Structure 1
């Protein structure tokens, strides 16, 4: 039996190129340069059949992403698995804190699923750092396409002692 992402001869069949272009006022953001190889789980295969992700900063310097949910993210037939959407929110919201200058780990991620997300759909993941008090950084975001909101999330991040994104880059 043929598996998703596998051609009849057993070789992997990649999906065609996906357009992940940002909005006109967005600037491309090099996420791996900021946090390194830790982005492997979600955005580690830029041409794969699971996710394809491109990061941007908007006019307000908030992190935005364009994400394609490929056939390997399937949960309910024809739709993205809730865990795949939660993984995207974990990466994007955590990275939003890093991009704002906070070296963090995610302490708590609350995800609210609003509607099913069809496979092979390009969506926008919006994020905003809402507050930073002491070691706690609160980031909110959502996955949407046009007026349709698929997921909303809140992420409580905890800063790592004695680290900053700048010092991490200097160590390389």
Structure 2
């Protein structure tokens, strides 16, 4: 056990500040503890996430992919990217007033995402018809697009 403790490396604080005009968004107060898998440990070595809303009420996030999200050497695992998309796109629907579960998530990977990098996720509800809510998102830094996602959400009856 002493070796496991010795191997744990804590990373320094990460700047997850938003853009001008973004307002911090308290996601756990909206959906409760369900956000623990991705954004539940604000000082951990897996993910660090801070959510915001802009003037049009679209959801944005600043996300740090830590060393525990590793896949290909020096880069985030595709499953880690998909997990972030699942949380953020589903949360975008909740933030827009639609209590949902994710019915289908399609992620298109565009570039490998280097570990210990802060990226931005933009999302928006594209349509809502009956119980179906469509949300799109993209994960990028500067001009580099790492992934795009499309999420079909289904509203929860009675919520």
The two structures have a TM-score, normalised by structure 1, of: 0.89
Matches of 1:41 and 1:77 in 2, distance apart? 23
Give the secondary structure class of the aligned counterpart of 1:52: strand
2:125 counterpart of 1:132: no
Report how many aligned residue pairs link the two structures. Answer: 158
CA contact (8 A) 1:57 1:63 kept: yes
Matches of 1:150 and 1:12 in 2, distance apart? 28
Matches of 1:45 and 1:10 in 2, distance apart? 20
Range that drifts further, 8-17 or 101-110: 8-17
Range that drifts further, 107-116 or 9-18: 9-18
Aligned residue number for residue 141 of structure 1: 137
Aligned residue number for residue 151 of structure 1: 147
Q: Deviations 1:127-157 (Å, cap 9, x if unpaired)?
A: 0000000000000001000111000010000
Alpha-carbon deviation of 1:60? 1.1
CA gap of 1:16–1:157, structure 2 versus 1, over 3 A, is same
Alpha-carbon deviation of 1:68? 0.1
In structure 2, the gaps of 5 or more residues are: none
Give the secondary structure class of the aligned counterpart of 1:111: strand
91, 99, 102: which is aligned to 1:103? 99
What RMSD, in angstroms, separates the aligned Cα atoms of the two structures?
A: 1.4
CA gap of 1:7–1:50, structure 2 versus 1, over 3 A, is farther
In structure 1, the gaps of 5 or more residues are: 1-5, 164-172
CA contact (8 A) 1:7 1:13 kept: no
Matches of 1:135 and 1:60 in 2, distance apart? 23
Give the secondary structure class of the aligned counterpart of 1:88: helix
The two structures have a TM-score, normalised by structure 2, of: 0.96
CA gap of 1:9–1:99, structure 2 versus 1, over 3 A, is closer
